[in-house]
Amino acid sequence: MPNITFLIVLAVILFIVLFIVTRIKIVPQAQEFVVERLGSYHTTWSTGVHFLVPFLDRIAKKVSLKEHVVDFKPQPVITKDNVTMQIDTVVFYQVTDAKLYTYGVERPISAIENLTATTLRNIIGELELDHTLTSRDYINTQITSTLDQATDRWGIKVNRVELKNIIPPAEIQDSMEKQMKAERERRETMLRAEGEKKSSILVAEGKKQAQILEAEARKESEILKAEAEKQATILHAEAVKEQKIREAQGEAEAIEMVQKALAQSIEMLNQANPSDKVLALKSLEAFGKAADGQATKIIVPSDIQSFAGLATSASELFKNSDK
């Protein structure tokens, strides 16, 4: 009997210990626990170890503080020019207040989805089709701002909203594809024409440069040829000048030598002290040489009186020479 009592007491103690241990709660990182006491909100537990009062407290909701990503299904919207299209969105949100998130709205995700759809319809309804397709950033900013303001009372912060896909009707897509194809062909034609234009300009520019270079080459060649002819003329003139100078110098030297010879002969005659008869004979010889020439007129010296006097002087000279 004592053994049974001991076992019962031991079992009760173990149950109490286990019950107390199970009342110890650990809140992990990036989470918060909303705790109710006797059915009403009591407190919010943050990261750490907490004790849950038995039979009084209970954890109403475990809230994750991480950023959540929700991909909503495509929503039908109508543009300003009455074109119906499908747009699906992706919402990035984060819980900032666990109490408001728990008690603010019944189904937060559904509420965000419906709010996104209505906001998207309002924004797209003010835009035409072409503007809608090219205004993703504008639409994202407008939806984000509207959702962020609306979800503040729910303890939710909408960080970003992205349009994942914009799906226009099939006939619009076909028309857009044809338009895009025509636009690509137009751009291709323009690029080809621009390329041909640049090519023609470059070819013409090349020909122009070639002609300019050829003209400059001819000009340079003519300049060099004229310069060469000028140098040749100068050298020829210098050579003729040098030749004439040398000829003049030669003539001057010859005249100088003749004059020196005459002067020496006169000096020698003076030193020999010739007689009047010798001088008369030399004059006769000179007169004879003059008479033998081609001259048509002969000037007879005035001091020669007669040929007889000359003959007498010559005979006397010969006699003296024989002696």
* pLDDT of the chain, 323 residues: tens digit per residue: 567 887 787 788 888 778 777 788 899 999 999 999 998 999 999 999 998 888 888 999 999 999 999 999 888 998 888 888 899 899 999 999 999 999 988 889 999 999 999 999 999 988 888 888 888 899 999 999 999 999 999 999 999 999 988 888 787 777 777 877 888 888 888 888 988 898 889 999 888 888 899 888 889 888 988 888 888 888 888 888 888 888 888 888 888 887 887 777 777 766 766 666 555 666 656 555 555 555 555 555 555 444 445 545 545 554 554 44
Please tell me the distance from the alpha carbon of residue 50 to that of residue 26, in angstroms, as a whole number.
Answer: 6
- What does pTM read for this prediction? 0.52
Q: For residue 316, tell me if it sits in a domain.
A: yes
CB 155 within 8 A of CB 98: yes
| DSSP for residue 52 | P
Distance of CA 150 to the CA centre of its chain: 52
Shared domain check, 100 and 81: yes
Residues 6+ positions from 277 with CB-CB distance below 8 Å: 313, 316, 317, 320
If one counts every other C-beta atom within 10 angstroms of the C-beta of residue 279, the result is 12
pLDDT digits (tens, 9 = 90+) for 36-71: 999 899 999 999 999 888 888 899 999 999 999 999
Task: Could you list the beta-strand ranges (E) of the chain.
Answer: 24-27, 31-37, 40-45, 48-51, 57-64, 67-71, 75-78, 84-95, 156-167
Name the CA dihedral angle for 109, 115, 119, 125, rounded to a multiple of 10 degrees.
Answer: 100
Domain hosting 97: range is 67-168
| DSSP for residue 224 | H
Shared domain check, 257 and 280: no
CB 59 within 8 A of CB 25: yes
Shared domain check, 155 and 79: yes
Shared domain check, 107 and 137: yes
Shared domain check, 266 and 278: no
